[in-house]
Amino acid sequence: MDVLEAIKTRRSVGLVSDKPVPQELLEQILEAGTWAPCHHRTEPWRFFVLTGEGRKPLGEVLAKIAEKDMDDPSSETNQKKLAKRLKKPFRAPAVIVVAAEPTDDPKVIAKEEYGAVYSSIQNMLLTAHSLNLGGFWRTGKPTYDPLMKDLFGLPEDGEVLGFLYIGFPEKEVPAGARKHFNDVTKWISTEDGLKGKM
């Protein structure tokens, strides 16, 4: 599959089967993740591959985080909500947790470390797609909760940046749609070309 075709046909695939993803396919995805650009060659990405019962602690921490905002976690409604959180990581046979561990090198700009990890995520989603796997980048507020950081043993300035749910698609996802690039682009070919709004 050519790169532009892969980019344009990749979709967020929410519905995947329970069929385990072979280790060698997961390894290809992870390898692609390590080939993202990174300023000063810091390679700030960290990956945690959760499969089988290895997904359970993620559900437990999602429930624990949700519980913090509940007045009465034992109420029937809240118990149902917590049970849903416990199940979330089981929506796909493999969940790749992608985190950033920024270097403490003072010449490195912290947000560029995050940028590198976001590029790594896109590499992984495109590779999953090229392997006929479905991928879904999920986040949400709990992603950035200190308890999440603790679960994965990240340092204080580290952060989980995404959960990549990977599996074999259960059904085809419709084609995507985007604005035309000219709607978000200004072509500058004269000195005063930047005057005025986009």
Ligand X SMILES: Cc1cc2nc3c(=O)[nH]c(=O)nc-3n(C[C@H](O)[C@H](O)[C@H](O)COP(=O)(O)O)c2cc1C
Instruction: Please identify, among the stretches 49-57, 134-142, 150-158, 185-193, the one whose residues bind ligand X according to the rule CB under 6 A.
Output: 134-142
- Of 5, 12, 31, 75, the one binding ligand X (CB under 6 A) is 12
State yes or no: residue 11 binds ligand X (CB under 6 A).
yes
Interhelix angle 76-87/56-67, rounded to 10 degrees, is 150
Minimum CB separation from ligand X for residue 89, in Å?
13
State yes or no: residue 34 binds ligand X (CB under 6 A).
no
State yes or no: residue 5 binds ligand X (CB under 6 A).
no
- Of 47, 90, 137, 152, the one binding ligand X (CB under 6 A) is 137
Minimum CB separation from ligand X for residue 138, in Å?
4
Give 23 or 139: the residue with its C-beta nearer to ligand X.
139
Give 40 or 91: the residue with its C-beta nearer to ligand X.
91
Residue 41: count of CB within 10 angstroms of its CB: 8
What CA–CA distance (Å, rounded) separates 114 from 159? 9
The DSSP annotation for 52-115 comes to GGGGHHHHHHHHHHHHTT-S-TTSHHHHHHHHHHHHGGGGSSEEEEEEE-----TTS-HHHHHH
What CA–CA distance (Å, rounded) separates 174 from 168? 16
Tell me the backbone φ, ψ of residue 166, rounded to 5 degrees.
Answer: -125, 135
State yes or no: residue 47 binds ligand X (CB under 6 A).
no
Please report, as ranges, the residues that interact with ligand X according to CB under 6 A.
11-12, 137-140, 176
